[in-house]
Amino acid sequence: MISFIMKENTEGREVVIEVKDLVRKFGDRTVLNGVDLKVYKGETFVIMGGSGCGKSTLLRHIIGNLKPTSGRVMLLGQDITERYGEELDEVRKKIGMSFQSSALFDSMTVGENVSLPLKEHTKLDKGVIEIMIKMKLELVGLRGFEDLLPSELSGGMRKRVGLARAIAMDPQIIFYDEPTAGLDPIVAAVIDKLIIDLSKKLSVTTVVVTHDMKSVFTIADRIAMLYEGKVLEVGTCDEIKNSKNEMVQQFINGSPDGPIRFFQQKDDYLESLFKA
């Protein structure tokens, strides 16, 4: 008990997500190779890294959609690697997720998309749910669009509707998978501003997975850099900017030459050319 209190004091804040030595293998390929992370309550935590470094896979492990080969994920104090079905759903009701492709249900209108979790998980009556949809859509600046279908919206609007759906159940943590990917700079900036606004207005914990450096430094309280399935470095924006790690510097500055090789050669080039 004393050690528990000591730990709380040294950390200062409550831990809402804790990833311990997470390993995930797909066949022979190791995608996550021992990830350790802690996310504190109320902060905006950004996981950045190049394409294919396993950051989306990590996110899917944190929300319980994938199960690890070994290691543990504690989400809101629950070990979700050992939870299935309804137990897992109870934890999931407390989180919201905004997907890279928005993942809106095509057959439903904007209003139905946002109200779906409310209709399914609460006993609120129709009138209240309608008011709540209006409030959620107002937060993302899309009030009045309830009756449109997702196919009638632009990419940025779909992202925002997905966000409204993610916050419908008033989650304690919001996850974003590549929130600005495929959007023009202005819309990307709007989404960044929205992420900051929501985390302030709703005072939630925010976890963002992205490789968009501009938005990383705009929104992040703390940053983790992921490379080849491992956490290279964790720190605040300034700590990461002034990092001594060459890989981190290469990634931030986006330079093609450096310790991170873009071409991954498996065998000798000449040898493979003349092997035939």
Partner 1 sequence: MSNFIYRTGKTTLDLIGHIKEILSLLYTTVSWIFTGPFRKKPASRPSIFQQMVFAGVQSIVIVFFIALFTGIVIAMQSAYQLKQLGAIIYVAPMVSISMARELGPVFTALVVAGRVGSAITAEIGTMKVSEQIEALETLALDPVRFLVVPRFLALIVMLPCLTIMADIIGVLGGMLVGVFNLKLNFYRYMSFSFDFLTWKDVWTGLLKSFCFGAVISMIACYVGLDTRGGAEGVGRATTLSVVISFILIVLFDCILTGLFYFSNV
Residue numbers at the binding site for partner 1 (CB under 8 A): 60, 63, 65, 85, 89-90, 92-93, 95-97, 99-101, 103-106, 116-117, 120-121, 162, 165, 169
Of 137 and 260, nearer to partner 1 (C-beta) is 137
Taking a C-beta distance cutoff of 8 angstroms, is the pair 209, 177 a contact? yes
Q: In Å, what is the CA distance from 94 to each residue of 77, 111, 173? A: 12, 21, 7
Of 63 and 260, nearer to partner 1 (C-beta) is 63
Smallest gap from residue 15 Cβ to partner 1 (A): 22
Of 118 and 188, nearer to partner 1 (C-beta) is 118
CA within 13 Å, CB half, 125 = 1
Of 21 and 87, nearer to partner 1 (C-beta) is 87
Smallest gap from residue 108 Cβ to partner 1 (A): 10
Smallest gap from residue 105 Cβ to partner 1 (A): 6
* Lookup: tokens for 79: 């070990």
Of 91 and 148, nearer to partner 1 (C-beta) is 91
Q: Is 86 exposed, middle or buried (0-12, 13-18, 19+ CB in 10 A)?
A: exposed
Distance between CA 155 and CA 192 in Å, rounded? 15
Smallest gap from residue 183 Cβ to partner 1 (A): 17
Smallest gap from residue 28 Cβ to partner 1 (A): 16
Smallest gap from residue 86 Cβ to partner 1 (A): 8
Smallest gap from residue 206 Cβ to partner 1 (A): 16
Of 145 and 175, nearer to partner 1 (C-beta) is 175
Distance between CA 212 and CA 183 in Å, rounded? 11
Of 39 and 173, nearer to partner 1 (C-beta) is 173
